[in-house]
Structures are given as C-alpha cells and as structure tokens.
A and B are shown apart, each in its own frame.
Chain A
Amino acid sequence: MHTFAEFIIVFIILINLALSVTGSLSACIKLVALQGVVAGVLPLMAGHGGPQGRAVAFAAVIILLKGAVFPWLMMRARDSSGASKDVEPLISYPASIMLCLGAFIASSWMGTRLPLPEAGVAWIVPASLATIFTGFLLITTRRKAITQVLGYLVIENGIYIFGLALFVEQPMMVELAILLDVFVAVFVMGIAIFHISREFDHIDTAELSELSDWRRGEYGK
C-alpha cells in the first residue's frame, strides 16, 4: 500500500514539473485538476487499516470540487476572457523546470530539517513543499491573471498534502474550512478575471500597473 502511496507522491511531483513546462492554458487547468484528484486519493492510501466512511466521503467531496467544479470554473473564465490560449511565461521553460527541480532539492533538504512527526510515507513533506513552491512559480512567472489563480490552487494542493504529512487523520473541520475558502476565492477570482477582461480587453497582469487606463495614449500603447 505504501509503495502505491509513493507512486502517487512521485506522480504529484511529475505533475509539478509538467505544470512548469506546459504552454497551453487548458492543459494547465487539467493538470491542476488532476493533481487535486490524485492528492484527494492519497489519504485513502496513507491511513492505517481500511478507509473509514468519513474519510471516503471527504475524499469524494474533494475530488468533486477539485476535479470537476474548479476546472469548470477556470475553463469558463478562460473562454469568457477571450485571451490567447497560451500561458505566456516570463522565463523560458527550461528555466522553469530547473527552478522546479531546485525547489524540490531545497524542500527535501528542508524536509529533513523541519521538526515534524514521522510521516508514514516517504517524500511526502518534500513533495508538499515542492508543490507549494511550484504554485509560487506559476504565480510569479506567468503573465496572465488566470495562471495566478491556478498557482493559488496548486499552493492549496501543496498545503493539503502537507496536512496529510502532519496528521494521520485529517481534522475535518480545518480542511473543510480551507476548501470553502479556496472555493470562494476561485469563484471571486473567476468573476474578477471576467470583469478585468471586460474593462481592459485583456488579463495581462503586466499591463495592470496603473490605476486607470486614461493615460494609455501618452505611452503609445
């Protein structure tokens, strides 16, 4: 069972790498959804003994939200914003993948230094930290507002996996509260992206540095 959990951890890290090199926005959304689903399956594997009914119900809620509702919202935001279908990174893809690898190396070093209870599955702490780093990477090095929401979701996945490393059994209230927060945030961001693109005809964050666009003509843009 633990080998299977280790496979899932490796898979999550591979998704991180794929996220850092994927050029297509819809593929990015699908990868984030896949990562959420895979991370949702993880507690069923890592627990001792057979999975209990509560854990199964909880996993089902997470998989439904991260695998179906979020991608649907994101796809809707992508379509309605009318932006191009590429992620438009600020740094090259090889640099992204190298940063992602470096993040994993740093987080495996950090994982050994953190005073944490012994996790049942190997690499779960480094994997969660690396996932959080990947989320930051998506937020900082991608040009569109929608990829920043995606990065936020990846960070949430990382925090979720980190929680799994800390507690054998998830405190349900805490996790549900985080999930609700994320749900509201994605909802609000979806609407915000839609409004931004309607106001300014684009969702390019580099162009959103001024409060209003009345001076645009002076810069010849």
Chain B
Amino acid sequence: MEIVKPLFQILAAALLAPLLPGVVNRVKAVFAGRKGPPLEQLYYDLIKLLRKAPVYSRTSTWVFKAGPIAGFAALMTALAMLPFAGRPAALAFEGDFIFLVYLLGLARFGTVLAALDTGSAFEGMGASREMQFAVFAEPAFFLGLAALARITGEGSLAGMFGALTGETWRTAAPVLALLTASFFIVLLAENSRVPADDPNTHLELTMIHEAMVLDHSGPELAYILYGASLKLWLFGAVIGSMVLPRHSGSWASDSGMFLLVMFGVAAGVGVVESVLARLRLTKVPYLLITAFAFSALGLIFQMAR
C-alpha cells in the first residue's frame, strides 16, 4: 500500500489539475457578477481538442510538433516529485529541486522553440517576453527553494515539505512568510496570471503566453492547455505545502486538507485577478525583482541566523 500511495498522488494531481483553472474562472465570474463557465470546462475543452485534427502551417517543421509534447512530458515528470500534503513522493533524491527547476525550464524551452518555429512575428514576440520574464522568475523560485532547503535541512523536495511542521513556522515564521509571498508572485507570473499577463486578453500586442501558442491547434493545443494547468497545480502544491505544515499522520485527512488548500490557492489567484489590474509590460520585471528580493532576503536571514 505504501508503494501505491505515491502513484495515487500523481494520479490525483494529473486528474484534478484541470479543475484549478475552473476554480479561478469561477471566482472571477462571481466577482464580476456573472454565472461563469462550469468548473469542469477545461475537461470538455481538452476532450474536444483531442478529437480534432491539427492544422500545420507550411513553414513549420517537426520542432513545432515536438514542443508541446516535450513540455507536457517535462511537467508530467515534475509531478512525480511534487510535494503532496507532506507525504513521500514517488521520486525523491538529494537536490531534486534543482531538477524540478530545470524541468520547468525545459518545458518553457520547448514551447518557445515551437513558437519561434512558426516564423510568425507575434509568436516570436511572445517567446521573447516569456524568456525575459523567466530570467527574473527562475532565480526567485530557485533561491526560495534553496532557502527552504536551508531551513529544513533536507535536500529533496518531498523531504523539505515533509520536514516543515508547525514548529518550523513558530521559529522561522518571518522567513517562511517571505518565501510564501515570493512563491505566490512567481506563481502569478509563471502561469501568466493577471499582474504579469492576462489570460483572457486577445490583443496579441499585450499577450505573453497566449501569443506563443496562437498557431497550435488540435491535440497539441490540448497538451499545452493541460500542461498549463499542471504548472498551476505544481506551483499551487508548493504554496499549499508551505502554508499547511500540520501533518496529522492519517493519509486520507492529510490529502483532503491538502486538496482543500489547493483549491483555496486557486481561489486566491482568482481574487487577485479580480481586484488587480494588469501591470504595464515594462513594470512586470519590477514585480519579479520584488519576488527575487523576497527570496534572497529569506535566504540571507536563514544564513545569518
């Protein structure tokens, strides 16, 4: 049973991830006084897209087809070592958080190459912006994870969050609060959420992530949409494990609480998206530098303690 549980965790993440964008959209709809799409809208979209035949431009090559699949595969691999309610993960080794950051980088690389392969000006612009913001977001995430490793004294992602208890929050509350804030900003930026990017906009000039995937269609678009929801799940799981340090020991109640917190994080994203306006494009790096500063401060605090 102990071997099966991590597999269940991966399965739960893979199956429930498309619910998160649904929760975000529902919260936004409630704020706007609308009824909103059903929670499981993304599942319908994915099924619809998977049945469609893709359309390829004559200028695109195999890179265009390989990009979404590479991104999807990288994110599925990342799921295997994701923290889940402080339980042991299916895949855990010393320093696997570095591996996680590189997997995210690989997924981004695949998407960007596919976008550049179309030869469209819009997609090149989106790809350039995506990389520009990643330059700021990645160090913030990486330094935050390093600070967390320093606090808990563990080298693996699941170990870090397993060692994070209420006692850690009592002794290192300021640092953990800083890191949570930093991770939340990185979540918003990496998932192209509102202060950094607007997922609803259809103005190519202002889009970042959406501009990159304009030419994808059919199953490839499904891979990209599903990969985006997995990414949201990934960052949500990191934040959820940060703010939910209490482990009761019972697998079922831990998992239930964790899923509730995950949906809470998604609802938080929805609230942020409803009350904030999108930042001007040139101001987005400032936001990410703030996240970087939070992470760096957390790390320095922990080192100087």
Contacts and interface: CB of A to CB of B under 8 A. Distances in A.
B293 interface: yes
B289 interface: yes
Interface of A: 3, 6-7, 9-10, 13-14, 17, 21, 93-94, 97-98, 100-101, 104-105, 108, 111-112, 122-123, 126
Closest 10 CB pairs of A and B: A108-B304, A10-B174, A6-B174, A94-B289, A7-B174, A122-B305, A17-B293, A101-B296, A108-B300, A101-B293
B297 A13 contact: yes
Q: Is the interface of B mostly helix, strand, loop or mixed?
A: helix
B271 to A, nearest CB: 22
A134 to B, nearest CB: 13
A71 B132 CA distance: 39
A137 to B, nearest CB: 14
B174 A111 contact: no
Nearest to B296: A101
Contacts, number: 49
Interface centre among B170, B174, B286, B289 (most CB of A within 10 A): B174
Contact of A104 (B285, B290, B297): B297
Nearest to A20: B293
Tier of interface size on chain B: 10 to 19
A13 B301 CA distance: 11
Contacts of B301: 10, 122-123
B286 A111 contact: no
Nearest to A100: B293
B304 A112 contact: yes
Contact of B286 (A14, A21, A122): A21
B213 to A, nearest CB: 29
Given A21-B286, A101-B293, A123 B170 contact: no
Nearest to A2: B171
Contacts of A21: 286, 290
A98 B296 CA distance: 10
B303 interface: yes
Contact of B304 (A14, A101, A126): A126
A130 to B, nearest CB: 10
B305 A3 contact: no
Contacts of A9: 174
Given A10-B301, A21-B286, A104-B297, 9 more contacts: A3-B174, A10-B178, A17-B297, A100-B293, A108-B300, A122-B304, A122-B305, A126-B300, A126-B304
Contacts of B290: 17, 21, 97
Given A3-B170, A6-B174, A101-B293, A94 B304 contact: no
